[in-house]
Amino acid sequence: MSTVQCQAPRVTIREIGNYVDQEVCLLGWLYNKRSSGKLHFLQVRDGTETIQCVMFKGDFSEEVFKQADTVPQESTIQIIGTVKRDERSPLGYEIAVKHFELLNEAQEYPITPKEHGTAFLMDHRHLWLRSSRQHAIMQIRSQIIQAVRNYFDQNGFTLVDAPIFTPNACEGTTNLFETEYFEEKAYLTQSGQLYMEAAAAAFGKAYCFGPTFRAEKSKTRRHLTEFWMVEPEVAFNNLDDNIDLAEDFVVYIVQHVLQTCRRQLDVLERDISKLENIQKPFPRITYDEALQILKEKGTPEQQVPWGEDFGGDEETVISQQFDRPVFIHRYPAQCKAFYMKADPENPKVALNVDMIAPEGYGEVIGGGQREDNLDILTHKIQEHQLPMEAFDWYLDLRRYGTFVHSGFGLGIERTVAWICGLHHVRETIPFPRLMGRLRP
Ligand code: 4AD
Ligand code: MG
């Protein structure tokens, strides 16, 4: 398979606007087509975008014109032609084809433009990624991650990578993935937080960004077994400072996507006005105030007794009262992790915070102020029946210059689901890992 040599510059569709009325060479795949006797309209994608390429019968030999009409979907093709403005197309341009070359004829492609079931599409995820909606989602995901990195890199944070193999649990022992580690057991990390606390003492402001793992046995639309989390941790930040940071960060991410991903949001038919609303300040309510909302607006099943955490349905009811994300702080200490600092004014509640996205997208951020007292933390580890020896290094952070500090974790996939307006997190990550799904 070799391409035709030509004088025209090889360009990507994304940059095609720079070549109006000029001849260009495009390499890509046939996405879709329609014909009307004398004209073929080929939708060609090259990975950056999709563009309509128009072939007039009179410009080609009978053989080539016929070939272009029968080329299977996803065949590899080369197009040489002139870029024209086309106000009716979403891209704003089309190509008047001068030369059409079939580089590789694809076999019958399983994903046709008709509707397919989700299980079928998930089984063909490696091909489904080429479809326009999935393509738009992955580009938005990529920009969200770029915004995450920009934000911390530009605000004095040091990137400190946390390990994947860990000797201990961070977020409870019920959903750990266990693995052999030579003569001992290790667990896939649930969170880099404990390491970021060490990093905060070493660097002041630190963050990690990487995959995290939880053996979630429930099949919900918000849970993956492997997901990506960004976790900042800041020395001398208290709970309020932590909420200020999370708020500023989330506004930055949404604004970045609005600036860089208009086309993709259009493909997804996302209501942009809902995203434009995401401005400071976000409402901040206590757990007790959230319970009151459930009392007034929730169904009888959504009446959570004091002390229990909220589930997805309750979070949806709470989020519906606001037009932007809501911070819920000071949950009962009993339903939160061992490292949370108790509120000195009411030790029954923790100095923690969750951020619930609007429109029912659920908890996107979890974090809080950490217990900094050696004796209390030691006691908490015992109380949670965690193995003390695995946490000895963590207790060192309280032995040698303990300090007020806070941080949070933002889940990338839930953020993508919210910003893109997707019902299920399985479409927010290139190759999702769910209970019962390990391939492709
Ligand atoms: O609330 P979580 O469990 O908090 C922590 O792990 C803290 N140690 C973070 C920290 O303070 N540094 O998880 C944080 C976020 C959630 O709000 C959610 O967005 C995401 O991680 N998350 C999941 N996303 C997809 N699938 C799952 N199974 C998830 N579990 C948590
Ligand atoms: Mg949480």
From residue 389, alpha-carbon distances to 95, 168, 263, 292, 376 in Å are 67, 9, 53, 41, 16
The answer to whether position 437 is within a domain reads: no
Residues 99 and 140 in one domain: no
Residues 172 and 263 in one domain: yes
Residues 95 and 169 in one domain: no
Residues 239 and 359 in one domain: yes
Identify the residue whose C-alpha is closest to ligand 1 atom 20: 411
pLDDT at 114: 85
CA 147–ligand 2 middle distance (angstroms): 22
Residues 80 and 132 in one domain: no
The answer to whether position 433 is within a domain reads: no
The answer to whether position 321 is within a domain reads: yes
pLDDT above 90 for 219: no
Residues 136 and 67 in one domain: no
pLDDT band (50, 70, 90) for residue 2: confident
pLDDT above 90 for 169: no
**Hey, which of 227, 340, 434 would you mutate to test ligand 1's pocket, going by the most ligand atoms within 8 Å of its Cβ?**
227
Q: Which residue, among 310, 362, 304, 308, has the nearest Cα to 335 in the 3D structure?
A: 308
CATH code at position 43: 2.40.50.140
Q: Which residue, among 68, 129, 148, 131, has the nearest Cα to 103 in the 3D structure?
A: 68
Considering every ligand atom, which ligand is closest to the CA of 310? 2
The answer to whether position 221 is within a domain reads: yes
Mean pLDDT over 140-160 rounds to 98
Residues 56 and 200 in one domain: no
The answer to whether position 116 is within a domain reads: no
The answer to whether position 283 is within a domain reads: yes
pLDDT at 222: 95
pLDDT above 70 for 60: yes
* Residue 364 beta carbon below 6 angstroms from any ligand 1 atom: yes
pLDDT at 1: 67
Residues 214 and 326 in one domain: yes
pLDDT at 3: 85
Residues 282 and 342 in one domain: yes
Give the number of the atom of ligand 1 that is nearest the alpha carbon of residue 225.
28
Domain end: 43, 77, 104, which one?
104
Residues 369 and 316 in one domain: yes
CATH code at position 146: 3.30.930.10
* Residue 193 beta carbon below 6 angstroms from any ligand 1 atom: yes
The answer to whether position 236 is within a domain reads: yes
* Residue 325 beta carbon below 6 angstroms from any ligand 1 atom: no
The answer to whether position 315 is within a domain reads: yes
Residues 227 and 322 in one domain: yes
Identify the residue whose C-alpha is closest to ligand 1 atom 4: 366
Residues 193 and 242 in one domain: yes
Number of folded domains that form the chain? 2
What is the overall mean pLDDT for the chain? 96
Q: What is the model's pTM?
A: 0.97
| Helix, strand and coil in the chain, % to nearest 5 | 35, 30, 35
* pLDDT tens profile 348-376: 999 999 999 999 999 999 999 999 999 99
* Residue 417 beta carbon below 6 angstroms from any ligand 1 atom: no
Considering every ligand atom, which ligand is closest to the CA of 365? 1
* Residue 370 beta carbon below 6 angstroms from any ligand 1 atom: no
Count Cβ atoms below 10 Å from residue 38 Cβ, excluding itself: 10
* pLDDT tens profile 9-26: 999 999 999 999 999 999
Domain end: 51, 74, 104, which one?
104
Which domain does 313 fall in, by range? 123-428
User: How far apart are the C-alpha atoms of 73 and 70, rounded to whole Å?
Assistant: 9
* pLDDT tens profile 421-430: 999 999 999 9
pLDDT at 21: 98
According to DSSP, residue 432 is labeled: -
List, in order, residues 6 or more apart from 48 with CB less than 8 Å away: 12, 13, 14, 15
Query: And the tokens for 378?
Result: 């030691």
Domain end: 104, 137, 161, which one?
104
Q: Which residue, among 336, 338, 342, has the nearest Cα to 390 in the 3D structure?
A: 338
